[in-house]
Structure 1
């Protein structure tokens, strides 16, 4: 039977609203409040806090345009993914949909690339968290902190999906409250309404008073796009998690419909506050970090330590979700026969323990490489996974182009979320992603990332195509 004809069966396999998964599979252990916070927190990564200063230095106030462009890209991609996920919730999300719409090779390739991306992220975030923790408790070496963080979050994920959801609920909650408070307090200071503020409260003057809105030229907007695009990775996690929720269809629909305001408030809102509190070329933005510099300009004491706590929370949230996401993708690949069958086995609590341990094992190896071979092996891992985010978004575009027809033939009543201006906006989004990848080839800082990522992707795709060919040959025999 073709993958298209299996659509309804696969959708039912993940559970209908108000029901739990079958005892042999993942369990519906995530509550609606968990999914809501995972959706909100998914767009707030550590990259927003620690990476925005570089974008501001490169593009000035025009970095806001970069965030608008990338934000629009994410909104469109999430809309496409939401259309498919709402109609057929699946723990494999876009990998499972690519499997059905484009072929087994596509689901295999993007699934393993996405898994690879997140297990490398585990090492990056574990090290980032360890640096902060070592600063607070120097007696414990950095490698030990990285180990402790990984062990604690592994235990959380192994316990049950609800424990993952509970940890993520509070991690994401801290991020949301912190960003919300920053935007409100910052805007009050911007307009001179905050009592006791040290900031002169110049309104929106700083957006143009240091060389204009485009001080580095309009072309810097594209440079800014390259610097901020990767901080948006993670918004798609909610579509994987929805498969283990009480009401998958409702959760996906709600998350997809709210992505616009989430990006507007947390990204555009917070960066706008930074750029209006300080001139874009203020040295403290690069020296201290954009958010710490902004808080210092208001006169908030211990701004650096406050931001360290928030960044650590973001790091732990990313680690927690990264391990969850990698394990669920491995589980989905195992279910489809594209990974060891052991990955598709779950314990009595519906937790795919083998998939979690495999992801953790590679994560631990990557952490070791980060300490022992930072400039060689780990550098290769980091660069070769760097563009995977864009590959995933591109595959989502091409998958949705095919899946719309499949869904309308098979389950039209379940297509409750629809991509706007289909298929024109889908094609336009794909073209923009291709443009960004092409532009990266002409950027010295990103050329190596694209080339190595394409190389690794080509190897994985070749393996996927070979496996699909061998399966077809076996079926004919």
Structure 2
């Protein structure tokens, strides 16, 4: 299966192992290794329950997306499903919302990566290192989608290996199998109890945690560049949703069991603090390397997904058609390069306006992924019957307890969005995100009006996967 337009087509070199690692890698960024300290210091040991609730929510959203993606795999994934369910405005806005979110993340990760490199490389300005990192990952994405998959496979593999090793040694310490250690879970209750600040922070903490656990949705975009997208999505979703729960919940439980929750400074990695307690030599450099790999992984994925969003938008006539032009390796070169230009712009903004404009971009991106997840949920609810009809009433991969559980998940996301109004920090993120969404919708309205006034408009249908060699054009007859 190839995704094809009149300008070019995407190839299908990604294998099942690549897709599973891409999905896992997308969820395991700096938010896990560094951001977990913020939620633990705010919620206490009950942060384990916060991670469990959030992980369950992410798992259900992925199941809903997986149902649609297995039934109808597309390069645009959730953006195309939103278009099918609610109209062109939904597909347009979801694609640009996700593009904005990932584009800011690309710039942010490049900045963070440079800061991590400065631990070993002295005398080189951070912005220079940021540019070097972005250039390097750009080359990986330009060579072929296969090279992207291979790099991400190893990036994700190192991250997963690091977390598994952490869980093993931390568990050995907690259960008294580590030299000088004894069975001890007292830190869970000795410093004010399991929920020292009450249950409300545990629930409101979902808003903070959800941003560090998202990313698995990229597998439904990447699967379009595999030979059997439906099967690949089904296996990847099944593999990811439980492993994400394990990695986040287990590691957070071990952290609060080993270190008193109220001794973890915000902004410092609790993983590092645990490994220092265990007395492992050279741990700071090792963890710095792992976090750097996590950052590079997110940067790699960000460049990939944003270029594919532009490919889909170009196929639908919602951005320049040259965004769909591919090279011999099936890479939308101009789409990738366009995204790197925005990445360099974010690096520049971060350099010149570190405490104002760049912070605005980061804050505005915070609510974006929740908007996208909300659109995924609504799309699944509306498209279930259509997908069942397409497959003669038999869906290979289903969301559980339809329509009650999908409605509950949708309500939970709406509740999280509304609850963001009560926290000053998250309120800014929500309001700025709504402002960006409004600008996108205005742009869609202007584009639509211009399209109606033009007699030469030749609109494009949502991008479909077509059999390799069929030569099917996506244009209306």
TM norm structure 2: 0.92
Which residue does 1:3 correspond to in 2?
A: none
> What is the aligned partner in structure 1 of residue 189 from structure 2?
208
**Please, which of 239, 252, 255 is the counterpart of residue 271 of structure 1?**
252
Out of 411, 414, 420, the position equivalent to 2:400 is 420
Alpha carbons 2:34, 2:268 under 8 Å: kept: no
Do the aligned partners of 1:32 and 1:246 also contact (CA within 8 Å) in 2?
Answer: no
What's the CA shift for 1:377? 2.1
- What pairs with 1:40-439 in structure 2 (closer than 5 Å)? 40-194=24-178, 196-197=179-180, 199-202=181-184, 204-283=185-264, 286=266, 288-412=268-392, 415-439=395-419
Could you list the runs of 5+ residues in structure 2 that have no partner in the other structure?
458-477
Contact 2:140 2:147 in 1 (8 A): yes
**SS at 2:355 equivalent:** coil
Which of 30-39 and 67-76 deviates more?
30-39
State the 1:413 CA deviation. Answer: 6.7
Q: Secondary structure at the match of 2:27?
A: coil
Q: 1:475 to 1:99 in 2, by over 3 A?
A: farther
Structure 1 Cα separation of the partners of residues 310 and 27 of structure 2: 23
Given that 2:25 and 2:298 are in contact with CA atoms closer than 8 Å, whether structure 1 keeps it comes out as no
Native 8 Å contact 1:347 1:353 kept in 2: yes
How many residues align structurally? Answer: 457
1:7 is matched with which residue?
Answer: none
SS in structure 1 at match of 2:255:
helix
1:461 to partner: Cα distance: 1.8
Return 5+ residue gaps in structure 1 as ranges.
Answer: 1-11, 16-20
Task: Indicate if the aligned counterparts of 1:87 and 1:414 stay in contact, CA closer than 8 A.
Answer: no
Alignment partners' CA distance in 1, 2:118 and 2:393: 54
Moved more, 226-235 or 156-165: 226-235
Name the SS for the 1:210 alignment partner: coil
- C-alpha displacement at 1:286, in angstroms? 4.2
Secondary structure, counterpart of 2:360 in structure 1: helix
3-state DSSP class of the match of 1:135? coil
**Partner residue, 2:465:** none
Distance in 2, Cα, partners of 1:422 & 1:468? 35
TM-superposed deviation, 1:380? 2.1
Moved more, 311-320 or 208-217: 208-217
| Alpha-carbon distance between aligned partners in 2 of 1:277 and 1:382, rounded to the nearest angstrom | 32
* 1:25-64 deviations in Å (ceiling 9; x for gaps): 1000112221121122222121100101110000001111
Instruction: Report the 3-state secondary structure (helix = DSSP H, G, I; strand = E; otherwise coil) of the residue aligned with 1:281.
Output: helix
Shift of 1:23: 10
Partner SS state of residue 227, structure 2: coil
Deviations 1:150-205 (A, max 9, x none): 000000000000000011011000000000011111111100012x25x4441x32
